[in-house]
Amino acid sequence: MEFTKDIVALLIENDDISVALQYRFVDEPEVLLNHNYDKMNQNCMVF
C-alpha cells in the first residue's frame, strides 16, 4: 500500500490515536500529515 496524506488522514480519523501516542516512536497527527509520502513511496520502490 502506498501512503498519501488522504490515506493517513483516514487512518488517523478511524483510530484511537491517544492509545498509540503512549508509545515512544509514534508522532502526533499533525506531524504524520506533514510527511512527504511521495518521497517515502519512491524510496520503498527502490528498496
Mean pLDDT by 10 residues, the chain (47 residues): 91 88 91 92 86
Say what the pLDDT of residue 15 is. Answer: 87
Say what the pLDDT of residue 31 is. Answer: 95
Instruction: Give pTM, 2 decimals.
Output: 0.71
- Tally of domains in the chain: 1
- The domain in which residue 34 lies consists of 5-46
Distances (CA, A) of 14 to 6, 27, 38, 41, 45: 12, 16, 22, 22, 27
